Amino acid sequence: MDTLSRAERSAIMSRVRAKDTRPELAVRRLVYGMGYRYRLHRRDLPGIPDLVLVAYRKVIFVHGCFWHRHPGCANNRTPKSRVNFWIRKLDGNRRRDLATLRRLKTLGWSALVVWECQLRDMKKLERRIRMFLRGGRDV
């Protein structure tokens, strides 16, 4: 059972944003500081990627571990209330993400998924992004 009223839960959920989140802004600052320039949220690409590097035909998604079901992450947990709703919702997000990555690959784009928990080690993340943008494999 939820400990918050419907109105309180609704107010909290209304503040969850799809773009310009703290993790996304951190990745944007990092990539910009590395000297790369990008476009944001191109709606003509599957999944509306967070960062689009057109010259490289590469995109970067910044995913929250909870919302996108990061495998093996402590933040990938199922809420205790309305379990069936949340499992259906979060698993649906995961399936949609995988389909989006397949569609992008079919269109000739490479994609990198940066997970929220990976922002704890910015040096390691910078190396990973640099390798991806310099021609490393998609993730």
Is residue 49 predicted with pLDDT exceeding 80? yes
pLDDT at 20: 78
pLDDT at 124: 97
pLDDT at 12: 67
Question: How many percent of the chain have pLDDT more than 90?
Answer: 73
Does residue 5 or residue 72 have the better pLDDT? 72
Looking at every residue in the chain, the average pLDDT score rounds to: 90
pTM of the predicted protein model: 0.85
pLDDT at 3: 76
Q: How many CB atoms lie within 10 A of CB 52?
A: 19
Does residue 137 or residue 139 have the better pLDDT? 137
Distances (CA, A) of 4 to 11, 66, 76, 79: 10, 19, 21, 13
Distances (CA, A) of 74 to 10, 14, 69, 78, 102: 25, 24, 10, 11, 26
User: What class does CATH assign to 6-130?
Assistant: alpha beta
Q: Where are the alpha helices (DSSP H) in 4-134?
A: 6-14, 22-33, 83-106, 122-133
| Beta carbons within 8 Å of 126's beta carbon, 6+ residues apart | 30, 34
